[in-house]
Amino acid sequence: MLTREKLIEKALLLLALSAIGSLALITIFIFLEGLPIILKTGVSHFIFGAHWAPTKGHFGILAMILSSIYVTLGALIFGVPLALACAIILAEFAPASLTKILKPTIELLAGIPSVVYGFLGVVLLVPLIRSYLGGPGLSLLAAAMILGIMILPTVISISIDAMNAVPALYREGSIALGATQWQTVRKLVLPAARSGIITAIILGMGRAIGETMAVIMVAGNALSIPTSILDSVRTLTANIALELGYASGAHREALFATGIVLFIIIMILNSAATLIAGRK
Amino acid sequence: MQNKNPLPFLVWMLCGCLVLVSLACGRGDRQSQTLTIAGSTSVQPFAEKLAEVYMKQCPGLLINVQGGGSSAGIMAVQQGAAQIGASSRELHGEEKKLHEAVIAWDGIAVIVHPSCPLDNISLTTLRQIFAGEIKDWAALGLKPHGMHVITREEGSGTRTAFEELVMDRREISPTALVQDSNGAVREIVAHDPHAIGYISCGLVDQQVKALAIDGVLPTGANIKKNLYKLTRRFLFVTAQQPAGLAQEFCAFVLSPQGQILLEKEGLIGVH
């Protein structure tokens, strides 16, 4: 009986390792494919060069790194206030019956395919920006607004969990001292749930920076460094997805190298989230 | 509940995986009747259509149509990985040793919104627009408004041909919007009165207006007579004079049936 038990344990371990193994394989693969071109171009030229013309031998991705950062920050500016307001209402103020309906509804947002967000962006948002604010409509602003909505479910559900983890005893104490419910939330619950909320925001950032399809559809994908929120931008993910279909040789390697940069950025974000969540 | 044994389940799962793997390996022994066409993504949809019709006529024959771009297709022929290379650009240098057959002509149309009063544009002005020197419609004598220039992604056959035919070794401006298909470019131009872009002639419809270049409209007749400047040839490239399957397929493409098929899809036939 013991041997069979051991056998099952080993089999499960093997399966678990294969999941991690695929991560290792992906990592090794993109580094093998992408590193040579980074070293050949020079790390600083690759990262701080603003001229991207891969079929003519120019590999600089600064414009795309900046665009990715701007778009992500924009998404946070639109998404975080909405998400926090939503989380506070659902965790602290709304009656349980309402929460029971609203929370799954918000989580449904996460299940909508990104191409649908992109399509809505192109059909509804882009013409509005074009006619009321000017420019081609396909812009940093459009991408940031769409991503702001896309990160809502991530940020809301993790923030709610963080607030629910604050012991009810604290709240009762605060109310007993004469604080109003809003004062309790602002002075007690939010600070106590801070690390969880920051983790939620960082994971939302990861979601925004990694999004591809919706961004390709609404951002316009121009190669220059944006100077206004109405300028068209190309993010790192969009660059890979747009050009991989045709790329060969050094061009292909340069796209994998773009992937390495993206990989490192997302690793940093995720480690930061893990660190903050673990600290408490 | 604890005495349920998960082992049989695991065994079944493993068996399932093995069956899938063996199924995936089962193909590939029909090599003798396989024709591989690789190359330009502009030619690909047309080659696929032709292959589909031809395979129906010759049961048992398998035609593989792959993309990858003109250069990749030509290289595949040189190395023997494909029997036919599809190219939407001319052959250069070493490549000229290969055998080429023109299967069709295609024009690249410069398109604007139907409400745009512009009807004609010179090749030089077009180059200045895409190089980013002209940024405002006022320079063309229209109502002043920023120009929204739309191009295709780096590596696309249409973009490569446009660069060869229009740009004269200058780079397309980095501020130009980039879309990844003819359809997407047309979609934007159809809804933005200040946009200008280029797509394959076969895909122009009433949503957009095609401009005349130096006074010549991109009509089938003008393209055939080589009067329209933004014209490119679609080539089938083979290592030598085509033989066997490749020769039969080329003959089908150049036959009236094949040519009518291509014209129906929007290209200009060679006859």
Supply φ then ψ for residue A94, to 5 degrees.
-70, 145
The residue assigned the tokens 């400047």 is B229
Task: Report in angstroms the alpha-carbon separations of B99 from B75, B78, B104, B225.
Answer: 13, 11, 16, 24
Least confidently predicted of A84-98, A237-251, B5-19, B20-34: B20-34
Name the pTM for this structure: 0.80
Residue pairs between chains A and B whose CB atoms are closer than 8 Å: 81
Contact B41 A245 (CB under 8 A): yes
Mean local confidence (pLDDT), A186-200: 92
- Are B158 and B42 within 8 A, CB to CB? yes
Residue A156's closest CA among A90, A214, A74, A75?
Answer: A90
Task: Report in angstroms the alpha-carbon separations of A87 from A37, A43, A81, A90, B43.
Answer: 45, 42, 10, 5, 52
- Are B90 and B233 within 8 A, CB to CB? yes
What is the end-to-end Cα distance of chain B in Å, rounded?
A: 77
Q: Half-sphere exposure of A57 toward its Cβ, with a 13 Å CA cutoff?
A: 1
Inform me whether the pLDDT recorded for A71 exceeds 80: yes
Q: How confident is the model at residue B18 (pLDDT cuts 50, 70, 90)?
A: low
Contact A246 B155 (CB under 8 A): yes
**What confidence score (pLDDT) does residue B42 get?**
78
Chain A residues with CB within 8 Å of chain B CB: 4, 7-8, 11, 51-56, 63, 127, 130, 134-138, 216, 220-224, 231-232, 234, 242-243, 245-248, 251
Residue of A nearest to B171 (CA): A53
Contact B155 A52 (CB under 8 A): no
Q: How confident is the model at residue B67 (pLDDT cuts 50, 70, 90)?
A: confident
**Three-state SS at A85:** helix
Contacts of B41 in chain A (CB under 8 A): 245-246
**What confidence score (pLDDT) does residue B26 get?**
44
Q: What percent of chain B has pLDDT over 70?
A: 88
**What confidence score (pLDDT) does residue B204 get?**
87
How many of the other CB atoms lie within 10 Å of CB of A192?
Answer: 17
> Tens of pLDDT along B227-270?
898 988 899 999 888 888 888 899 999 999 999 988 888 788 88
> Tens of pLDDT along A196-248?
999 999 999 999 999 999 999 999 999 999 999 999 999 999 999 998 877 77
Q: Tell me the shortest Cα–Cα distance from B49 to chain A, in angstroms.
A: 20
Q: How confident is the model at residue B13 (pLDDT cuts 50, 70, 90)?
A: low
Mean local confidence (pLDDT), A13-42: 92
Q: What is the DSSP string of B70-108?
A: HHHHHHHHHTTS-SEEEESS---GGGGGSEEEEEEEEEE
ipTM of the complex: 0.81
| B41, B71, B153: residue with CB nearest A243 | B153
Q: Tell me the shortest Cα–Cα distance from B144 to chain A, in angstroms.
A: 13
Mean pLDDT of chain B: 85
